Structure 1
Amino acid sequence: MAMIIPWLGAGFADSRSRRRLLRRALVVVMALCWVAWAALAWWTAPRQVGLEQLDRDLAAGRIVTFVRADGWDEEGGFWGRRPEPQYDSEGWMMIWSLPDGRVRYADVGVLSIDEERSADHEDARLAQVASSWRTDGAPADRLADAAALLSGALAVTWLGMLIAGPAPRAGSRCFWFWIGLLPFGAGLLGWLLREQWHAEVPAGRDRQSGWAGFGWALLGGLVLSLAVLGLRALFGGIVIPGG
């Protein structure tokens, strides 16, 4: 009996060590998936350019797909999803994709219903060399779909671990649910760092409640939005894409 007890203790210690190792490995995998998503999302994010860029892309034969639109549809959007155009055949915006997966758009003016689509009009010129938007196999769509798949897998994994995993230390499950809704997956990264990578570190104070998570999510979303606006003003829309 005296020999069995130390053996059981060593077994439990080994089991805890394996669980810790598996948790750390999962954190690394999820973090790498987030990096891959961020790179794909940044690359395929729509970027506004001038009409001269449209002419250059047309002349070089770099346009794969195109569509007219009246803005971007971001209602009910998820942080991992690329915004879709608000399709409008007379819209002010021309959107096109390139062979390397990038997406550009320009203000070409509203096309009147009575306006003839002459041979030198952008629509007619594009129709001669490119396909309609969301054509199967277009590089921009494949990359955007891959980014959406990665973000969806991350969200499902995070939610499953949050619900079925051990109770979080720093905040309640509701707290981390609200934090997880922050843009760009920022809340997911915070949860990975605090509740998974440093899971053994005890909380320095009482666990944060769901109401605290809701408040921090609102504040964090505002701060991130202002940060993006500031960085876009500083570096331009090509480096920091967005509306």
Structure 2
Amino acid sequence: MIDETRALRAGRGWRWWAVLRLSIVALWLVAAGTAWWTAPRQQSYDQAGADLAAGRVVAYQWGDRWDANRRTPWFGTADLESSGTLGPLFGWRTPDGRVWWTDTTYFGEVTTTGTVHERSYAGPGAIGIAQQLQAAGLEGRNGVLQPLGQVVAGTGLAAAVVIIGVLLAGPAPVLGTRWFWFWLVCLVPFGLGLLWWLAREHPWAHSGSPHTGPRQRSHGALGFALGLLAALLSSMLLLVLGQLLGDWWVPRLDAG
């Protein structure tokens, strides 16, 4: 009778961990998919004008640099920042949620008519975009380029809370110490360390899996080193893939 009760409790515990693991993976998928879809991608000056003329601009922003320091962990992209002058960078969001940007310094041909306050803009290219905004009646759509960035930040925060809770209060890890997994989860880009933890570590494994002795567990120093190495290699891989596949498939996280 006692053995049956223990087995029943073990079964309920396993189902609880399974639901938690699936929930974390779902959060990761939402964050990763949203970040990839809304990542700023560079477009030509002419394409910016075409979207303005067709009214395909839901929101826009002016800026002179991309600030990568404000991006959210794992999936965040840089924010478009301005020092006061409008331009030379112009970013816009289309109805499908995609975000685009162009450098108005580079344009084929533009005619300025004096219909906007030219001193506020960083050159004739920016003035030309401002005139098209005015002509299309879209001047009032100046706003946030990536409103779904809050979704990414929220899912990342939720995942972080779950991770810390399990690492601190959950069953002791088997393959590595708590610090080993902490560094891997925090340092490996895009939350891939989290996925590795979910796939390999106790308590996600079945209770019948063989447990490794504590002396054989990987320690925090190794996790820290592996996390830094993974971050370096992922940056190099993204650079190569970006060159091979283009900005559409591998958007640059610094957007600039």
TM-score (norm 2): 0.82
2:232: which partner in 1? 222
Corresponding position of 2:78:
83
2:156 to 139, 151, 155: 151
1:101 aligned residue (81, 84, 97): 97
Residue among 1, 4, 10 paired with 2:4: 10
CA contact (8 A) 1:169 1:199 kept: no
Q: Which moved more, 1:107-116 or 1:57-66?
A: 107-116
Structure 1 residues 67 and 210: CA distance shift in structure 2, 3 A: same
The CA distance in 2 between the partners of 1:164 and 1:52, in whole Å, is 56
2:204 — aligned with what?
197
Residue 125 of structure 1 corresponds to 132
1:120 Cα deviation after fit: 5.9
- Structure 1's 188 and 210: CA in aligned 2 closer, same or farther, altered over 3 A? same
- Aligned counterparts of 2:191 and 2:173: Cα–Cα separation in 1: 18
Aligned length in residues: 232
Q: Distance in 2 between matches of 1:143 and 1:24?
A: 28
Q: 2:219 aligns with which of 196, 205, 209?
A: 209
Task: State the Cα deviation string for residues 154-213 of structure 1 (Å, max 9, x = none).
Answer: 111111111111111111111111101211111111111112432643348711111101
Specify which of 38, 45, 54 is matched with residue 44 of structure 1.
Answer: 38
More off after superposition, 121-130 vs 145-154: 121-130
Decide which moves more: 81-90 or 154-163: 81-90
Local SS of the residue matching 1:54: helix
Residues 1:167 and 2:172 are matched in the alignment: yes
> For each residue in 1:19-66, what CA deviation from the matched residue of structure 2 results, as whole angstroms up to 9, or x when unmatched?
112111211121122112111111111111111210111121101111
CA distance in 2, matches of 1:76, 1:226: 22
Unaligned 5+ residue runs, structure 1? 1-6, 135-139
Query: Structure 1: which amino acid aligns with 2:89?
Result: M
Aligned 1:20-31 pairs, distance under 5 A: 20-31=14-25
Matched residues in 1 for 2:80 and 2:177: separation? 38
- Alignment RMSD (CA, Å): 2.5
Residue 237 of structure 1 corresponds to which residue in structure 2?
247
Q: What letter matches 1:231 in structure 2? A: L
Q: Residues 25 and 175 (structure 1 numbering): CA distance in 2 closer, same or farther, change over 3 Å?
A: same
Paired with 1:119 and 1:216, the residues of 2 have a C-alpha distance of 45
In structure 2, distance between residues paired with 1:119 and 1:43? 26
Matched with 1:3 is none
- Taking only the aligned residue pairs, the percentage that are identical comes to 34
For residues 72-130 of structure 1, give each alpha carbon's deviation from its aligned partner in whole angstroms, at most 9, with x where no partner exists: 21116412434211223344211111112111011112997687889962124225314
